[in-house]
Structure 1
Amino acid sequence: MLYVLFVVTLFFLILNYMITRGDYLHPSTLFCEIFAVYELICIIGQSAYQITLHSETVFVMICGFMAFTIGGIISSKKKYVKDVNIPLKQQFQLEYIYVSNYFVYALIAIQIVTDIFFVKYLKAISAAWGSGGGSLSEMINLYDTMTKFWTTTFDKLNVPVPMAYRIGNPIATAGSWIILYIMVNNFMINKKIKLSHIVVILLMCISILLNGSRSPLLRVITFVVIMIYMLNYKKFRYRKGSFKFFLRLIFVVLGVSVLMIAVLSLIGRLGSMPNVWRYIFIYTGAPIVNLDNFLTSQPIKIIGGNTVFFGEHTFYNGYAYLAKILKFSFADKVKKIGGFVFSDNGIEIGNVYTTYNVFAYDFGYLGVFPLIFIVALYYTVTYKKILRDTKSTKTIDFKFFIYAYIFNDLIMLPFSNRFYSTILDAPFIKTIVVAWIMKCILFDKKATIGKYRLKCKV
């Protein structure tokens, strides 16, 4: 079945490549491309990990490919996304976005303060745990482990989050992403980057490392890559599917892979030099193998799930956020699923299962298609709308800003349920709200909600 799945994936990949006229970063094409890579890794490691796939896995995969293919077809229809033929001299022109130096300097100050207080928070957690005095990397690793796997123990420590961090972090995070957007936009115009903007992004990366997770670093990189790709297309109208950009993208992927391994050492998660092949397999091919094991070992229904809350695993972050605000019990009522998995020959292969395992568990096999179709429709339609918007502006295109931010979640769908987890997560919601307020006050000088418009003076 592994080879059958690979052939099916190649079929949908070629089909979507033709539908999108050679656009390898169109969501429907990219989705198939990444799964094809994961499956190829499984084929290479089939003997070493004794991989055997079943029809259940092939079925849910086909649901995803069909959803993105239909989304790609819908987004190409003028009925849904208006396509305008514009004379060459009137085509999209990038505009320089001015941002006050006072804002940038204030943002840097807030970033430094929040990082200082977060380090104090890490020290307090380490002391409460009983391992005070360790190195910073050890404290980061402890925090990361507790917040991911020892949540009950972490809650019992009851270490208060410093108020300065609680207030400053949403501002620092939103401001950093705003500066990153502006930095890329302006670089596309004059090929220059301000030193103060580089400082903001470096401090942003330091803050990410202090939290012990590498995924946000990857989000920064994908944010930049998709902005450059889409702005080039909007600006020149002929860069879609560029082979030159594709070669550069390959080098970026290789560089990011090395970076992700190196970061493990900085955050205390690299005990010794890893087996490179096993590392690659765990982060690529293994999610498909784990999904197959999950689907064949769990009581998955044709439709409907054995859950207390509607979609409790799919929408877990949303429920957890509401539970925290409304102070009701949620996490302890949800059955834990997943966990670390071993291959058929006893090799540990990680704890991620693609995006599909929670869909199938919460809603049954027939619930997979509508859930992935919602994701596909957002990415494909939004992508086309952004590319076809030829209006020049000196402010931030917030639709583009959000898309670039969660573009990483599209890439990570073959890895885990990143889309719903992100959009329902408290940090994302706070970041988007604060970023929108900054955009309205600092750049638009007005806030528009529906038909109501409020002017802002600063």
Structure 2
Amino acid sequence: MVYILLVLLLIILLLNFLLNNNDIIAPSVLFSFSFTIAVMFASFYVAKWQLNLHMNTFWVIFLGVLEFSVTSLLVSGIFKLFKSSNNYVREWIPNRISITNIQSILVILFEIFTIFYSVYSVVKLYNGSMLHFTSSVNQYRDQNLFGSENTVSLPLFVSYLRLIVEAMGYWFGYILINNYYVTKKVNIYLSLIVLLSGISSYIMGGRNGIITLLIMLVCFWFIISNKEKQFKKTIEFKTIIKLLIIGVVALSSFESLAFLIGRGGYGDINGLDYLAIYIGAPIKNLDIFLTGSTNRQIGFESQTFIHLVNTFGVKFHLVQRPIKLDLPFQHIWGFSLGNVYTTFYAFIYDFGYRGVGVLVFVMALLSQISYEIVKKSKKFFSPAISSLIYAYIGNTLVMSFFSNKFFEQIFDPLFVKMVIVWILLEIIFIRINFVKIGDKKL
């Protein structure tokens, strides 16, 4: 069944690519690509993991990807029906977005301060040592991810500083890609801003921030390229090769990044086996989950909307305490499978199989609408908020094979705060100076 599913997903991916004018970042392409790669990895371990895919798992993945693809196509078609010939950005031309060196240096200093202050705050929480801060960082990470009751939090001031640095990484990341697209020159200051933003996330024990940043940078490039070519550009073969190289390099460094910050691995598992735990094992884990009972009375203790519940549920006494993700680790014949189950796990955990139909529809609807707004945006003097939002959504679609990133990250009050930071960054770095010196800014 795994091989049949892989063939069907490859067909869906190819059709999505062709029906979207070879647009590699269209929502349906990203979502179907996500599961195609995961099932492909899982197919290498059929014997080792005893991956005899059950029919319910087969239909959940196949119909889920198919529903997302069809919904996206229908939404795109509806937008085309109601657009006039002038609605698309025919006159849009990418322009260099000007950020002064002084502005960049101030941002860099702010990021460096935030990184060191974050590390100091975590070390202080555990009475640790700055020389061995990774020990405190890992305690902090493990206690918040896997601790059942006693979670700890960074001071609110530190959390806001870190949010600003994360938002800066994406905002200046767009400018970095945009200016390189226009001038074919890499700005060292902007590169350092983006790098430090990634380090800020990474230094706290996680690699998700770096992965998100990398995927968003790729999305930025194709948003700019697609808009310039009126979303009709056929992707070149050499571009696909470059993306494959970037992907191989990123995957090759995945294991090393964990050990650099003191995170343990999975025993003597390394290389392709290590990657398989993160990319292919979610398929096996979902299959294990679906062989058990899926009839639960969740109430307000939702896994799908966990951040909304933890923000508003406690405040309005809908739940007694903040809830945690229920992600038990799985093993097969002593071989670790990790504890990730694809995005479908949360839907079925909360609402049963009908949850897949409803929530996949919502994902596809919101993702495609967001992308259609990007197509209509004409902003060129600063990063368009619509482009930033879609790139953020695009990352969650790519990571759908891994977990419920879409609803965890988009339906999260922190995301609203990040959008507010993006707006403030435009006001501070673009609009104020733009008003002062007018068109010379560009």
Same fold (TM over 0.5): yes
**1:253 and 2:240 equivalent?**
no
Instruction: Name the CA shift for 1:101/1:261 in 2 (closer, same or farther; >3 Å).
Output: same
* Corresponding residue for residue 386 of structure 2: 399
Instruction: Name the CA shift for 1:178/1:32 in 2 (closer, same or farther; >3 Å).
Output: closer
AA aligned to 2:352 is G
* Corresponding residue for residue 436 of structure 2: none
Give me the whole-angstrom Cα distance separating, in 1, the residues matched to 2:425 and 2:225.
26
* Corresponding residue for residue 359 of structure 2: 371
Map residues 25-36 of structure 1 onto 2, 5 A cutoff: 25-36=25-36
* Corresponding residue for residue 452 of structure 1: none
* Corresponding residue for residue 286 of structure 1: 281
AA aligned to 1:116 is F
The alpha carbon displacement at 1:170 in A equals 3.0
Q: Which residue of the other structure, out of 334, 338, 341, is the alignment partner of 1:350?
A: 338
AA aligned to 1:243 is F
**1:339 and 2:328 equivalent?**
yes
Give me the whole-angstrom Cα distance separating, in 1, the residues matched to 2:82 and 2:88.
18
Map residues 12-411 of structure 1 onto 2, 5 A cutoff: 12-77=12-77, 79=79, 91-127=91-127, 135-150=132-147, 152-155=149-152, 161-162=154-155, 164-237=157-230, 239-270=233-264, 274-298=269-293, 300-301=294-295, 305-309=296-300, 312-323=302-313, 326=315, 328=317, 330=319, 332=321, 337-343=326-332, 345-386=333-374, 388-389=375-376, 391=378, 393-411=380-398
Structure 1: gaps of 5 or more residues: 447-458
The alpha carbon displacement at 1:100 in A equals 4.5
Contact between 1:308 and 1:334, CA under 8 Å: does it hold in 2?
A: no
* Corresponding residue for residue 450 of structure 1: none
Instruction: Name the CA shift for 1:26/1:125 in 2 (closer, same or farther; >3 Å).
Output: same
* Corresponding residue for residue 417 of structure 2: 430
SS at 1:137 equivalent: helix
Contact between 2:164 and 2:421, CA under 8 Å: does it hold in 1?
A: yes
Compare 64-73 and 38-47 and name the one that shifted more.
Answer: 64-73
The alpha carbon displacement at 1:82 in A equals 5.3
Compare 80-89 and 195-204 and name the one that shifted more.
Answer: 80-89
SS at 1:152 equivalent: coil
Contact between 1:223 and 1:405, CA under 8 Å: does it hold in 2?
A: yes
Give me the whole-angstrom Cα distance separating, in 1, the residues matched to 2:70 and 2:219.
22
In the TM superposition, what whole-angstrom CA distance separates every residue of 1:329-366 from its partner, at most 9, and x where no partner exists? 737585863310112x3422010000001101211212
Identity between Structure 1 and Structure 2 (%): 26
Contact between 1:208 and 1:214, CA under 8 Å: does it hold in 2?
A: yes
The alpha carbon displacement at 1:177 in A equals 2.3
Give me the whole-angstrom Cα distance separating, in 2, the residues matched to 1:94 and 1:5.
41
In the TM superposition, what whole-angstrom CA distance separates every residue of 1:382-419 from its partner, at most 9, and x where no partner exists? 32442x33735212211011111232111000110000
AA aligned to 1:394 is F
Give me the whole-angstrom Cα distance separating, in 2, the residues matched to 1:342 and 1:286.
10
Give me the whole-angstrom Cα distance separating, in 2, the residues matched to 1:90 and 1:367.
40
Give me the whole-angstrom Cα distance separating, in 2, the residues matched to 1:25 and 1:196.
27
Contact between 1:94 and 1:189, CA under 8 Å: does it hold in 2?
A: yes
Instruction: Name the CA shift for 1:56/1:98 in 2 (closer, same or farther; >3 Å).
Output: same
Instruction: Name the CA shift for 1:99/1:273 in 2 (closer, same or farther; >3 Å).
Output: farther
Contact between 1:396 and 1:443, CA under 8 Å: does it hold in 2?
A: no
In the TM superposition, what whole-angstrom CA distance separates every residue of 1:172-226 from its partner, at most 9, and x where no partner exists? 3323322111111111111223332222222212211221110110111111111
AA aligned to 1:347 is F
SS at 1:306 equivalent: coil
In the TM superposition, what whole-angstrom CA distance separates every residue of 1:363-392 from its partner, at most 9, and x where no partner exists? 121221110111112223332442x33735
Structure 2: gaps of 5 or more residues: 434-442
Give me the whole-angstrom Cα distance separating, in 1, the residues matched to 2:89 and 2:194.
35
AA aligned to 1:264 is A
* Corresponding residue for residue 443 of structure 1: 430
Give me the whole-angstrom Cα distance separating, in 2, the residues matched to 1:18 and 1:441.
41
AA aligned to 1:9 is L
SS at 1:48 equivalent: coil
The alpha carbon displacement at 1:143 in A equals 2.0
Instruction: Name the CA shift for 1:52/1:194 in 2 (closer, same or farther; >3 Å).
Output: same
AA aligned to 1:152 is E
SS at 2:338 equivalent: coil
* Corresponding residue for residue 456 of structure 1: none
In the TM superposition, what whole-angstrom CA distance separates every residue of 1:157-178 from its partner, at most 9, and x where no partner exists? xxx7346524433333323322
AA aligned to 1:187 is Y
AA aligned to 1:317 is H
Superposed CA RMSD: 2.9
Instruction: Name the CA shift for 1:47/1:181 in 2 (closer, same or farther; >3 Å).
Output: same
In the TM superposition, what whole-angstrom CA distance separates every residue of 1:109-144 from its partner, at most 9, and x where no partner exists? 3222222221111212332xxx65762222222222
